[in-house]
């Protein structure tokens, strides 16, 4: 079976590595173009992996996947299956129709829940206890195709985005291998999505990352977990009478009562009130400064208030 793989970020690269290790016959890889930023060239994680296994001529980086010459170049491989994992471009029908068997997508949610670009973050933002991986046949409209296989995973209350992403990747690998075997045996079955249960995981915007201390402590905690490590949920503060943006990377809920935005510093801990309980900040980054522990951040702070 000849496979062409489409993907870009680390999540996709880890799955691609697994497929190569399992001796899946990947004849070509398609990934996003290299990006130049601040004088440096950034190469996709998928390209880095593909370069270890394939010839340069077998790695494609079209600016637009709808490019006619690019589509024609893929036809020469006689691929049986396209596997798409967080590629980053919409694939049109003339591309999806190329493989002999199917074009399939690995999606990090239990479809039809969280169709869209950021399903893992949205599952944490929503406080979900369970999520999962869906492998589906691709359709022209994003994430609407019928389901081949799904598998669930629990989300512990203290799990942050990167941890859940790693666990989802581990879940996806053997599930994808199982689907490949079903195609080899001509034993694939499809289940249509329930359109009455559709929700969306829209692209992450700055507004979604903005913390509102009028919300519950759990909602704020979930928001901080969803953007932990990078890029970070944030709020605006007045510090020594200057307005600054403060990113919050980790925190914990305290069962004490403070009014929303009410601030206290106790035993080198910075604590902020919400609509019910309180939030103790642990790792923060003040605008223009490096990431640091909250106990170090408050040293030398004479006056602070949360907006």
Q: What is the bridge-based pairing of β-strands 35-37 and 130-137? A: unpaired
Specify the pLDDT at position 304: 86
**Is the pLDDT at 35 greater than 90, yes or no?**
no
Extents of the domains making up the chain:
3-201, 206-306
Number of residues that this document lists for the chain: 307
What is the architecture, at CATH level 2, of domain 3-201? Answer: 3-Layer(aba) Sandwich (3.40)
**Is the pLDDT at 39 greater than 80, yes or no?**
no
**Is the pLDDT at 79 greater than 90, yes or no?**
yes
pLDDT in tens, 162-221: 999 999 999 999 999 999 999 999 999 999 999 999 999 999 999 999 999 999 999 999
**Is the pLDDT at 259 greater than 90, yes or no?**
yes
Note the pTM of the prediction, 2 decimals: 0.93
Q: CA distances (Å), 17 to each of 9, 20, 26, 29, 54, in order?
A: 12, 5, 11, 12, 12
Specify the pLDDT at position 158: 95
pLDDT averaged over the chain?
95
Give the distance from CA 51 to its chain's centroid: 23
Residue 124, phi-psi category: left (phi > 0), alpha (psi -120 to 50), beta (remainder): alpha
Report the top-level CATH class of 206-306. Answer: alpha beta
Q: Are 6 and 84 in contact, with CB atoms under 8 Å apart?
A: yes
Share of the chain above pLDDT 90, in %: 90
- 268 falls in which pLDDT band (50, 70, 90)? confident
Specify the pLDDT at position 140: 94
Q: Which residues are CB-contacts of 159 (< 8 A; sequence separation ≥ 6)?
A: 124, 167, 225
Share of the chain above pLDDT 70, in %: 100
Specify the pLDDT at position 272: 96
């Amino acid at each position: 079976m000849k496979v062409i793989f489409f993907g870009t970020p680390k999540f996709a690269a880890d799955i691609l590595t697994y497929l190569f290790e399992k001796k899946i016959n990947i004849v070509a890889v398609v990934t996003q173009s290299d990006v130049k930023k601040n004088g440096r060239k950034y190469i996709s994680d998928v390209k880095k992996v593909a370069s270890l296994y394939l010839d340069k001529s077998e790695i494609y980086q079209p600016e637009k996947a709808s490019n006619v010459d690019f589509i024609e170049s893929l036809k020469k491989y006689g691929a049986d299956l396209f596997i798409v994992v967080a590629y980053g471009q919409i694939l049109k029908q003339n591309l999806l129709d190329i493989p002999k068997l199917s074009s399939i997508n690995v999606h990090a949610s239990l479809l039809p829940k969280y169709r869209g670009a950021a399903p893992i973050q949205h599952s944490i933002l929503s406080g979900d206890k369970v999520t999962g991986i869906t492998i589906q046949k691709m359709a022209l409209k994003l994430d609407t195709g019928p389901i081949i296989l799904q598998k669930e995973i629990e989300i512990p209350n203290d799990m942050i985005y990167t941890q859940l992403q790693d666990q989802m990747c581990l879940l996806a690998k053997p599930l994808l291998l199982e689907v490949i075997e079903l195609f080899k045996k001509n034993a694939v079955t499809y289940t249509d999505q329930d359109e009455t249960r559709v929700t969306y995981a829209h692209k992450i915007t700055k507004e979604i990352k903005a913390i509102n201390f009028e919300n519950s402590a759990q909602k704020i905690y979930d928001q901080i977990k969803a953007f932990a490590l990078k890029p970070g949920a944030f709020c605006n503060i007045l510090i020594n009478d200057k307005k600054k943006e403060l990113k919050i990377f980790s925190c914990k809920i305290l069962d004490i009562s403070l009014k929303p935005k009410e601030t206290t510093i106790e035993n080198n801990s910075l604590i902020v009130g919400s609509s019910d309980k309180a939030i103790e900040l642990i790792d923060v980054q003040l605008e223009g400064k490096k990431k640091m522990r909250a106990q170090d951040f408050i040293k030398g702070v004479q006056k602070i208030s949360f907006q």
